[in-house]
Each structure stands twice: as C-alpha cells, then as structure tokens.
Structure 1
Amino acid sequence: MEGLIDLGRGDMDPSRRSVLGIGLFSVALTVPNWPDVVGRMEAVQGGRSPRIGMPEVDTVIAMTERISELDDQFGGRHARPMAAAFLVNTVAPYLRADAPESVRKAMLSAASDLCYLTGYMAVDEGVEGLGQRYYLKALELAGASEDHLTYCTTLRGMSVQAVDLGHGREAMRLADAAAAASPQAGPRMLAFLAGQQAHAAARTGDRHKALAHLNEAEISMEKAEARAKAFGSYDPSSLHYHISHVRHELGDLPGAVTAMRESDRLCYDIYRRSRVKERATLAEFQLEVGHLEAACATWNEALDEYPLVQSGRVDRRMGKMFRLIRPHLKNPAARELHERARLVAPAALSA
C-alpha cells in the first residue's frame, strides 16, 4: 500500500514538516463522505506477501493501544515516531498480504485506527498538515473496512483540530458529518459526537445550536454512565471539558472556570498530557475573571507534570502563560511562577 508507506516515511523526515503545514482547511481539502469510501481501497491488493490471520490483526490492535497509552502519559512528540515506524515496517506489509476477507477487513480497520491515532499525535505535536494527511488516510481505510466507529472518530478529530486552529465553520461541518455518519450509535458515542458539535457551534457564535447539542451530550452521558463506566473513552471529565469551552465561547466565564475545574477533578491519572493542558487552560480562564493568584496556583499545578510531557499543544499553552503573566510580575505569586516556569520550559517559550 504505497500511499501508507509514503505517508509514514514523510512523517519520519523532519525536512518535510514546513511544507505539510500549508493549506490547512482550504477548499481543496475534500473529505470523502461515507458512501464514497465504503469498500474502496484499490491500492490494497492481495498476492504480494505471505498470508496473514487474526494474530497479526491482534498485534496491530495491541500496539495501537500501547502507543495510545504512551501518548496519554508523555505526549505525541514521544509516541508518534514509534507509530510511524510501525506503520511503515509492519502494517503496510500486512495490508499487502493475502488473507481471508474477514481478516483483510479486520486488518484495514486496525490500520485505520492506528492512522487516526498517529494523526492525532501529529496534531498534538503541532505538525498540523501531516496530521490531516493521516486523518484522510484513516478515513480511506475505515471506509474500506466498513468501520463506522473509526470513520466518525476521525471526522470528529478533524473537527477538534479545526476548532483549535480557529476554523469554526469547518469544525461545525466536520462535527456534523461525524454525527450523520454514525448509524445506531450508543449513548456514549452520541455524547462523544454531540459534545464536539456543541463546541464547534459555540465557536461559530450559534448559541442556540451549541446549547442544544450540549444538552444532547449531557443526556446521552447520563444514559451511558447508568449502563457502565468506560475507562479510556468519552467520560464525564471530557463532557465537562466541552461544557467549559461552550460556556467560555458564549461569554459565561465563571461557568467556564467551574466546568473546567470539574473536568480536572474527574480526569483519570493516566491522562497526564490532557491534565497539564487543561490545567493551563483553567488558569487562563481564572485570569480572565480576575483571579490572578488562583490562576498562578493552577499554572503551578500544570508545571508539576509539564517536564514529563512532550506536546506542542501543551507548549503553546505554556507560551501563552508567559505572555499573560508578564504584565503582572509585580505580584509575588506571578513573579514566583514566572521564575519557576523559566527553569522548566524551553527558553523560546518565555521570549
């Protein structure tokens, strides 16, 4: 599967990174609809490699889970090179191998999930264009395997990327496409998709739509939690993260602070990267409402674990911290935070 091989090699070549950031969310970025990708993967042809079975599929699934755990704890900058190498050296040959149809579809699905994760880590690192390329490959593979879950998850991931980059309309389009392509979704999946729709709608300024989707997410989460708690998927911490951002976008700053604090309280220990990023965001919201010393305390909590995380998104949050506290350095708490941060953060962030 040459497209996947080329993508992995491009990922591992730092010299190409400057090119890959060009043209984000341009008109030329065409996201295929579900009917357009189902079963279509002409590049995946049998007869060129030894036969594979379910053990090889299980290997890809297990490796994806392990890499995801490393990403959660240490950030995409550490984990993505492992995923890229595994895609090139192991998964691509598996996709060329002979296999029964059931095994072939299972391998395509597993590869789709790994491509989505690798794209997510690229976005976390800040290599936005490369992340999009992985996301689009994940959509192709999901369609070829008829994997609705990864297809919808990938579209949602693209919406998250668009929101973070300030492209509200594109974020809304992608979030709506994810929801529309998810047939017979369970309540946790509905909450997962509706929460992102709410965030995207709030970014576009559509208050009515944002609150309607947020209500849908809250109702779905109540149903999901009543059935069974699910570690490692959309959970109450994630929902409160979306509640916080919707309230912030709609101008309810105290509500945004309360919801983000609750998200932090409910966050599982394993999600270190998310915890550091969201504590930094909470501090920004606290400063917006005029609580300078509370914000400094929260930023200090983020700094406790920041040296363990290699993430472009977290670095951006820390860079913003330096800019926000600079006017307040006459305050002892702000000055102490600034001095501590200079010792643990890259010098470029405090410039």
Structure 2
Amino acid sequence: MPKPNEALQRLFDMSGWTLSQCARAVNRVGSENGTPLKYNASAVHHWLHGTTPRGERVPGYIVEAFSRRLNRPVTYAEAGFEPSYGQCSQHPDTVDELIELGKDDMDPSRRGVLGATLFSVALTIPDWPNVVGRLVAVESGRTQRIGFREVDAVVAMTEELSRLDDQFGGRHARPMAAAFLVSTVGPHLRADAPEPVRKALLSATADLLYLTGFMAVDEGYHGLAQRYYLKALECAGAADDHLTYCTTLRGMSLQAIDLGHAHHAQRLADAAAAASPAAGPRMRAFLAGQQAHAYAATGSRNQALAFIGEAEVAMEKAESKAKAFGSYAPSSLAYHVSQVRYALGDKAGAVESLKESDRLRHSHYRRSSVRYNALLAERQLELGYLEEACFTWGRVLDDYPLVKSGSADEKIRRMKSLLRPHVRNTAAATVYQRARLPEAV
C-alpha cells in the first residue's frame, strides 16, 4: 500500500480546495497544454494517499495548478514528486543557459520535451531594477573581437526571421532562430567588444529572444515561450533597453490573455506601461492597447475604455516608423478595439472593428490575416450571419495552405467544428468540404 503524500496534502490544505475543485484545476492545465483530462475527486483522493498520477506530464499539471492557486511558484519536491525537466529557472543568468535553450529548440528530438514545459501564472517576472546590469560579468573568450558589423548582422537576421514569421508562420522560422542563437549570437556574447558594442549586441539579442518566444507562443509551446521571454527581459535590462523590455512584458501579457489568465495579463500589461517612462506615441499606443484588452477581459469597463481612448489618441500622434517586428499599426489598434468591444458585450461593434483591422492590414501579414479573419468568421457566426461567416472562412482558406503555424492550425480545427452542424446549408457545406481537402490541411 503506498505511503500518503504528506507534501501534497500540505499544499491541498493551503489551497482551500475541495477534491473536485482540485481535479477541475488540474484538468484545465492539461487542456491548456493539449492534454484533455477527466480527473475527478476520487483521483485527487488517491494522489493524496500516495498513488502516483498516470502519465509523465500529469505531475507537472498538478504542480502548476497549485502554483496558480497559491499565487507563487511550487516545485515538484514541494508537491512530493520527482523533479522534471522544463521547470523554468526563476533567475537564469548565464549565456550557457541561453545557448542550451537554443540547442534544445533546434533539435527535433527535444521539441516534444520542450513543448511539454508548462506556462506558469505564478512565475516570478523580474522587474526593471532587477534586470539592469545582468550579464555584466560575461567572460570574454578573447578568441575574437566583434564590432557593430556583427551587431548589424544580428539585427538584420532577426528582421528577416520576423518577415518569414509574418508571411509564412513560425514553424520553420523558430528552429532557424534557435540555430542562429547557438551558432552566432552565443559566441558573439562571449567575444571581446567595446562597451557600446556589447550593449548594442545585448539589445539585439533581446529582440531575437523576444521574437523566438513569440513564435513559440504561436506554436502553442507556452512554457518554452516563457523561457525565451525571461531571457529577453534579462538581456534587455543588461542593455538598458526599455523598449524591448516593455515589448516583451506586453508579449507576455498577450500570451496570458490568450490562455484565459486575464488578471495575470492585466498585471503584466501594467508592468510594461510602468517601465516605459519615455515611450513615444506609437509605443504608448502599443502598451495602452494591450492594457485595454486586459482590463476589458477582467470586466473593468471604465478602465478598458479609458485605455483604448488613450491608445487611439497616441496612434494619431505616431509618426515615426516602428521596427519590422513588434510594431503597432492602425490595424493592430482596430483589433484591440474589437477585443474590448467584444469583452464588454458589443459583439456587432467587435465584428465591425475586425473588418476594419482586416482592411488596414498589409497583405504581407498573412499569418495574422489567417488568425484574425478566422476570429472574424467565428464572431459573424455567433451573430447568426452564417453566409457572411462562410465567405470570410473562404478567404482564410485561400491563405492557410501557405502558413505553417500552430495557432492557424487551431483556427482551422475550430472552423470545422463550428461548421459541422450547418453542413445542410450550401455555403457551409462548400467551405467545410474545402477545409477537409489535403491542400487545406
């Protein structure tokens, strides 16, 4: 007979959960990570009495569920489980760790393990004072000396990877980014360089890490994305780069809200805004738009409307061209307006704003078009506009075969699920059958 898991019992007592509530919390974490679970009170009872959960990922789901409930990181040992690969380091501080992360991501045999790492709501996010000056003590190998030409190459490669992600999705671009991180950026960080070059390199590295994390989110590798994002924060702080630091926090807020963690997303969006004291109008619109989205998702109507108004005013003032990635354009603002309207109950207005976003979006952003037009079709259907939704989904299917993206794949799966009950309608049947063709899959 197994020995009771006293460590897990202590966590359970602190949580205040019933057995059923604990089971539902674990099930939610599993679903979020692509593993539908059906645990009930009986299963939790058995865990508390020492039964080992079935499935190698389940202990991680249990640990994450308790982390979220207690609003602090919980370790495997604290829950009475054996440690597992992939727990995020709270304070990563070496270039070696950055290189190892890239090596794992570029290795196809490791991607399943990386994909299993969990998104953690309770993860400690370092604030600006805590990341400033990080990586200062990186030792030079003295095997080479780099200058601004090498930094320019990192910037150019990052922009090219971003262009590929926008147009074709990140499934192929992210392993390329990881390989570049290992083969080029890591050695550059170890090389001898004047202080201005070193800071510029750290800033460029932070941009690359942010982009790679963003692509991991798109593929549904949320724990992996957090690890890239934390490294981006660290490098941005060491480079005294407020822009990339705030952009990364904003990306983490977007990730959280897409996973349904609205209050966590709100805190991250506020932290991004607070850390940008000298933000220009485009950056202010970028940050305020995310704040509006997060506050709307928490039901904070007045704050959401105030922030979206601030974003609209800032966008009108924006004149300078933003970076190729992480930029905030009128189409992005229209998307945020749509999300605010939808969260506050104005579904018809949300549809109109998504249409405006589509009208303003440059054709280069094919992955975004697939995702957001699929969302538009879902909301058109929700309003009862079946024929209009089918037309929009038809446009999605025009672009989808050219995009390799986990989020786009999920949108197509959802489209088929939503259309299935309507296949007696001619337009719905046409789109549904088209979605089942090999070239659409």
- TM-score normalized with structure 2 length: 0.76
Pairs within 5 Å for 1:210-225? 210-224=304-318
Alpha-carbon distance change, 15 to 173 in structure 1, aligned in 2, over 3 angstroms = farther
Please give the per-residue CA displacement for 1:180-214, whole angstroms capped at 9, x wherever unaligned.
Answer: 00021111000000000111111111111111111
Of 80, 93, 98, the residue aligned with 2:174 is 80
Residue 307 of structure 2 aligns to which amino acid in structure 1? H
Of 135, 140, 158, the residue aligned with 2:252 is 158
Alpha-carbon distance change, 96 to 113 in structure 1, aligned in 2, over 3 angstroms = same
Please give the per-residue CA displacement for 1:29-79, whole angstroms capped at 9, x wherever unaligned.
Answer: 111000001011156222443111111001100100111101100001021
Instruction: Figure out how many residues of one structure are paired with residues of the other and give that number.
Output: 343
1:243 aligns with 2:331: no
Of 352, 372, 390, the residue aligned with 1:296 is 390
Q: Which residue of 1 aligns with 2:367?
A: 273
1:129 aligns with 2:226: no
1:3 aligns with 2:97: yes
1:185 aligns with 2:284: no
Alpha-carbon distance change, 201 to 19 in structure 1, aligned in 2, over 3 angstroms = farther
Alpha-carbon distance change, 141 to 229 in structure 1, aligned in 2, over 3 angstroms = closer
Question: Equivalents in 2 of 1:153, 1:186: separation in Å?
Answer: 13
Q: Which residue of 1 aligns with 2:164?
A: 70
1:95 aligns with 2:184: no
Q: Which residue of 1 aligns with 2:77?
A: none
- The answer for unaligned runs of 5 or more in structure 1 is 347-351
Question: Equivalents in 1 of 2:175, 2:110: separation in Å?
Answer: 15
Q: Secondary structure at the match of 1:40?
A: coil
Please give the per-residue CA displacement for 1:117-157, whole angstroms capped at 9, x wherever unaligned.
Answer: 11111111111111111000000000111100000000000
Alpha-carbon distance change, 311 to 156 in structure 1, aligned in 2, over 3 angstroms = same
* Deviation at residue 15 of structure 1 after TM alignment: 4.2
8 Å contact kept, 2:136–2:238 = no
8 Å contact kept, 1:25–1:162 = no
Alpha-carbon distance change, 290 to 177 in structure 1, aligned in 2, over 3 angstroms = same
* Deviation at residue 12 of structure 1 after TM alignment: 1.9
Q: In terms of Rg, which structure is larger?
A: 2
Please give the per-residue CA displacement for 1:299-331, whole angstroms capped at 9, x wherever unaligned.
Answer: 000100100000111111111111111111111
Q: Which residue of 2 aligns with 1:349?
A: none
8 Å contact kept, 1:277–1:313 = yes
Q: Secondary structure at the match of 1:52?
A: coil
Aligned CA-pair RMSD: 1.4
Where is the helix percentage greater, Structure 1 or Structure 2?
Answer: 1
1:306 aligns with 2:400: yes
* Deviation at residue 3 of structure 1 after TM alignment: 1.2
1:340 aligns with 2:434: yes
8 Å contact kept, 2:117–2:221 = no
- The answer for unaligned runs of 5 or more in structure 2 is 1-94
Alpha-carbon distance change, 84 to 230 in structure 1, aligned in 2, over 3 angstroms = closer
| Identity value in percent | 66
Q: Which residue of 1 aligns with 2:300?
A: 206
Q: Which residue of 2 aligns with 1:25?
A: 120
Question: Equivalents in 1 of 2:205, 2:374: separation in Å?
Answer: 33
8 Å contact kept, 2:120–2:223 = no
* Deviation at residue 283 of structure 1 after TM alignment: 0.3
- TM-score normalized with structure 1 length: 0.95
Question: Equivalents in 2 of 1:260, 1:45: separation in Å?
Answer: 50
Question: Equivalents in 1 of 2:344, 2:312: separation in Å?
Answer: 18
Please give the per-residue CA displacement for 1:140-182, whole angstroms capped at 9, x wherever unaligned.
Answer: 0001111000000000000110011111011111111100000
Q: Secondary structure at the match of 1:299?
A: helix
Q: Secondary structure at the match of 1:265?
A: helix
Question: Equivalents in 2 of 1:63, 1:218: separation in Å?
Answer: 32
